[in-house]
Amino acid sequence: MRIFTKKLPHPDLPAEEKAQLLQNTEYQEMMVESTFMYLTLDLPTAPLYKDEKEQLIIPQVPLFSILAKFNGATEKEYKTYKENFLKRFQLTKLPPYLIFCIKRFTKNNFFVEKNPTIVNFPIT
């Protein structure tokens, strides 16, 4: 897998300072090749809907849409305590077996929430 990482300047900085920082090598995009044992997939946050009979409808998402994270073009912002990064992931070669870890649980200040979204796997 290729991981492309680009550091972002702080959003509160003036535009001219941001432009100067983006010229530094620290803020240029870096590429690292890495091996992996499994892929972590993020489920989109989807609310529960109610139909006309007042029954809950659980949203569904196709597997290919959550695998789009690894197409090499989709960027995602990662925030740390001090810095922000844009990352892109590109799969170069697939192993004989692929393990998916689907992140269903998000930790809130008070409790842990489960995302009930159904992931549709293609048969062929």
Residue 123 lies in a domain: no
Residue 83 lies in a domain: yes
pLDDT tens, position by position, 60-107 = 889 988 888 899 888 888 887 778 888 999 999 888 888 999 888 888
Residue 124 lies in a domain: no
What secondary structure letter does DSSP report for 91?
A: -
Structure tokens at 86: 């844009």
Residues 6+ apart with CB under 8 A from 106: 112, 113, 115
Residue 113 lies in a domain: yes
Number of domains in the chain: 1
**DSSP E strand stretches across 14-98:** 30-33, 39-42, 49-50, 56-57, 60-62, 71-79, 84-90
| CA 43 from centroid of its chain's CA atoms | 9
What secondary structure letter does DSSP report for 26?
A: G
Domain span holding position 112: 1-118
Cα-flanking dihedrals φ and ψ of residue 13, to 5°?
Answer: -75, 150
pLDDT tens, position by position, 10-35 = 777 777 777 777 777 778 888 999 88
